[in-house]
Amino acid sequence: MNQYLTTLQTVLLFLGIILLTFILAFLVNRIFKRVIKRSSEEMRNDPTNYIFLSHAIIAIIYTVGFGVAIYVVPSLRTLARSLLAGAGILAVAIGFASQHALSNIISGFFIVLFKPFKVHDRLQVKGLEGFVEDITLRHTVIRDFEHRRILIPNTVISDEVLINSHFVNDEIRRRVDINISFNSDIDLAKKIMKEEAEKHPLHIDARTPQQKADGEPDVMVRVLKIGEYSVKLRAWTWAKNAKESFILNCDLLESIKKRFDKEGITIPYPHRVIVKD
């Protein structure tokens, strides 16, 4: 009877520790989510450190919790000691197996420490583009523009050449390219492009005080190329961030096209002459 009670007590203690581990991990995760939300929305701090730290603490909670649960069960404790006593080959195998996982964790720490990118930054890597949503112990989660999640191991993204649209400064210079026909008025077309860009609410004046003093225009428009059937014009505009830059470009293409139609500027299309033998 006493043995039965002892066994039951051990099982209940084991289950209690496991349950407590899950509850503690849940509470820590919830607390960190509130801290991250408050930090990013109210205090406008970078949430990257908090997110990575929450993953690390939760991993430690699970490791310690399951370790204590195994230790309180005598049979499991004996089994664990037996495995550790002759675990030379097993340790080598586990070491090789966990080498990649450990390198991802170390790479994650370096990402958080040196900050080549942060949560909410817009990244372009390996031909993929999106916003950084999370940096876990193993991989970086990027949400693309179709709302899909791209999981890139931390070791991979650490070794890649990245394009970070939010690194240091969020301001983006956007190039607006439009082709006009040879018989169109180039000066009028440049004037229209400049006016449409300057009056758009998302366009910002990114000139330095020295550039303003030197009389440099807010929006520069130049002839970029004379092609086979058109003249290519380019306007350089600035926006506050990548999202507003995309909207600015779309709006300008539409408004410039409408102004061109009203004022007789034509946008050509290629002609082909087919000669039959």
pLDDT digits (tens, 9 = 90+) for 142-154: 998 888 899 999 8
What's the CA gap between 156 and 145, in Å, rounded? Answer: 21
* Contact yes or no for 238/205 (Cβ under 8 A): yes
Is the pLDDT assigned to residue 193 strictly greater than 60?
A: yes
* Contact yes or no for 220/235 (Cβ under 8 A): yes
* Contact yes or no for 121/129 (Cβ under 8 A): no
Confidence band (pLDDT; 50, 70, 90) for 43? very low
* Contact yes or no for 233/177 (Cβ under 8 A): yes
pTM: 0.55
Q: Flag the least confident range among 53-62, 193-202, 252-261.
A: 53-62
Is the pLDDT assigned to residue 68 strictly greater than 60?
A: yes
Is the pLDDT assigned to residue 177 strictly greater than 50?
A: yes
Is the pLDDT assigned to residue 123 strictly greater than 70?
A: yes
Tell me the CA distances in angstroms from 169 to 39, 172, 206, one per residue in order: 20, 8, 12
Is the pLDDT assigned to residue 85 strictly greater than 60?
A: no
Among 8-12, 134-138, 146-150, the range with the most confident prediction by mean pLDDT is 146-150
225: Cβ contacts below 8 Å, ≥ 6 apart: 231, 232
Q: Flag the least confident range among 245-249, 255-259, 268-272.
A: 268-272
Average pLDDT for the chain: 81
* Contact yes or no for 80/70 (Cβ under 8 A): yes
Query: Residue 9: what residue type?
Result: Q
Q: What pLDDT, on the 0 to 100 scale, is given for residue 258?
A: 94
